[in-house]
């Protein structure tokens, strides 16, 4: 299988602080890959090494099967977490300038910018200055800047942040469309619901290290149907019973919980019915958010121990 990106034992330290610690993963061509982790886990440091902004202390980064070089970066698109555009310049000027830096000629860049603005409902804003736009609109412009040179590999750091539901929907369709064209996409986010729907594989990093890596479907399957989604009215004291419940995420009248090892879901239902009215009871695979919280918490416990 051809890999768009290969990280091999990449390490980056700032003084004493190790931001990225021997991180290795590969992204197969044409996949949507999720790089997940809590704040400060080393996601941005990792991404910066993928596009040559910083150089790893040790380990290797390979892009399109070759060691990372400036020339290859023209085939990479980057949407940074912190939005960055020239505020005093017009949208079109911003887009054309950034496309030119990636080697696209002005007429072609202008044509593509128009097309993209049209597609993302910004056709009327081309001649406005960036500072006049709302946050969500700036976000869309930033996205266009990352894809206008039709890169084969896109690195998108929190692409959905600041977008309203309609905007998110449009962007999701665009991403699926890009995937259909065979492009590889790396997502960096802590918004689990989008990852769950879009990603093929994930790498969960915490404190600079990979704690969970693999194909999303397989990861979820490995956890089995050991989770319960419950809609209820009343009290559920059983949530604190360690013989039944390993962990839970309670929303007041809805709860997601992981069964304790060996616990019987049937028994859980019986106990629950004694103290509350149950409107829905479903045995499911754990959501990615649960896996995320669970893994992050358990690695934290290991590190603190």
| Least distance in angstroms from the C-beta of 3 to another protein | 20
* By the rule CB under 8 A, 63 interacts with another protein: no
Contact 162, 136 (CB under 8 A): yes
Strand partners, 278: 232
Conformational region of residue 60, where left means phi above 0, alpha means psi within -120 to 50, and beta covers everything else = beta
* By the rule CB under 8 A, 129 interacts with another protein: no
Q: What is the DSSP letter of 216?
A: H
* By the rule CB under 8 A, 88 interacts with another protein: yes
95-124 residues in contact with another protein (CB under 8 A) are 97-98, 100-103
Residue 115 DSSP SS3: helix
* By the rule CB under 8 A, 135 interacts with another protein: no
* Piece of the chain touching another protein by CB under 8 A; list 51-59, 121-129, 228-236, 292-300: 51-59
**270 vs 276: CA distance, rounded Å:** 10
Q: Which of 188, 152, 162 is nearest to 38 (CA)?
A: 188
* By the rule CB under 8 A, 145 interacts with another protein: yes
| Least distance in angstroms from the C-beta of 269 to another protein | 51
How many residues form the binding site for another protein (CB under 8 A)? Answer: 27
* Piece of the chain touching another protein by CB under 8 A; list 29-37, 66-74, 171-179, 296-304: 66-74
* By the rule CB under 8 A, 86 interacts with another protein: yes
* By the rule CB under 8 A, 84 interacts with another protein: yes
* Among 22, 28, 38, 54, interactor with another protein by CB under 8 A: 54
**85 vs 138: CA distance, rounded Å:** 8
Residue 205 DSSP SS3: strand
- Report the residue count for the chain: 305
* By the rule CB under 8 A, 249 interacts with another protein: no
Write b or e for each residue in 251-278: b if 16 or more Cβ atoms lie within 10 A of its Cβ, otherwise e: eeeebbbbbbeebebeebeebbeeebee
* Among 85, 122, 154, 259, interactor with another protein by CB under 8 A: 85
* By the rule CB under 8 A, 87 interacts with another protein: yes
* Among 10, 36, 51, 228, interactor with another protein by CB under 8 A: 51
Strand partners, 283: 228
Residues forming contacts to another protein in the complex (CB under 8 A) are: 48, 51-54, 70, 73-74, 76, 78, 80, 82-89, 97-98, 100-103, 142, 145
């Amino acid at each position: 299988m051809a890999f768009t990106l290969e990280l091999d034992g990449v390490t980056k330290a700032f003084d004493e602080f190790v931001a990225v610690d021997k991180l290795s993963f590969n992204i197969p061509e044409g996949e949507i890959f999720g790089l997940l982790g809590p704040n400060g886990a080393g996601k941005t440091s990792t991404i910066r090494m993928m596009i040559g902004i910083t150089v790893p202390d040790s380990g290797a980064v390979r892009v399109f099967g070759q060691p990372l070089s400036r020339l290859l970066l023209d085939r990479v698109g980057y949407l940074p977490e912190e939005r960055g555009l020239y505020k005093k310049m017009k949208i079109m000027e911003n887009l054309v300038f950034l496309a030119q830096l990636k080697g696209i000629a002005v007429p072609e860049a202008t044509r593509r910018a128009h097309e993209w603005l049209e597609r993302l409902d910004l056709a009327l804003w081309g001649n406005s200055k960036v500072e006049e736009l709302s946050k969500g609109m700036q976000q869309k412009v930033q996205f266009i800047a990352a894809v206008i040179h039709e890169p084969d590999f896109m690195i998108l750091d929190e692409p959905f942040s600041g977008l309203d539901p309609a905007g998110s929907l449009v962007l999701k369709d665009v991403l699926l469309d890009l995937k259909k064209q065979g492009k590889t996409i790396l997502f960096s986010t802590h918004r689990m619901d989008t990852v769950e729907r879009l990603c093929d594989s994930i790498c969960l990093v915490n404190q600079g290290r990979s704690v969970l890596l693999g194909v999303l479907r397989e990861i979820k399957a490995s956890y089995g149907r050991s989770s319960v989604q419950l809609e209820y009215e009343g009290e559920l004291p059983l949530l604190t019973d360690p013989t039944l419940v390993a962990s839970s995420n309670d929303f007041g009248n809805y709860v997601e919980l992981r069964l304790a090892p060996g616990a019987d879901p049937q028994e859980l239902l019986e106990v629950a019915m004694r103290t509350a009215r149950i409107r829905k009871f479903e045995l499911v695979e754990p959501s990615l958010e649960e896996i995320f919280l669970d893994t992050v918490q358990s690695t934290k416990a290991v590190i603190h121990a």
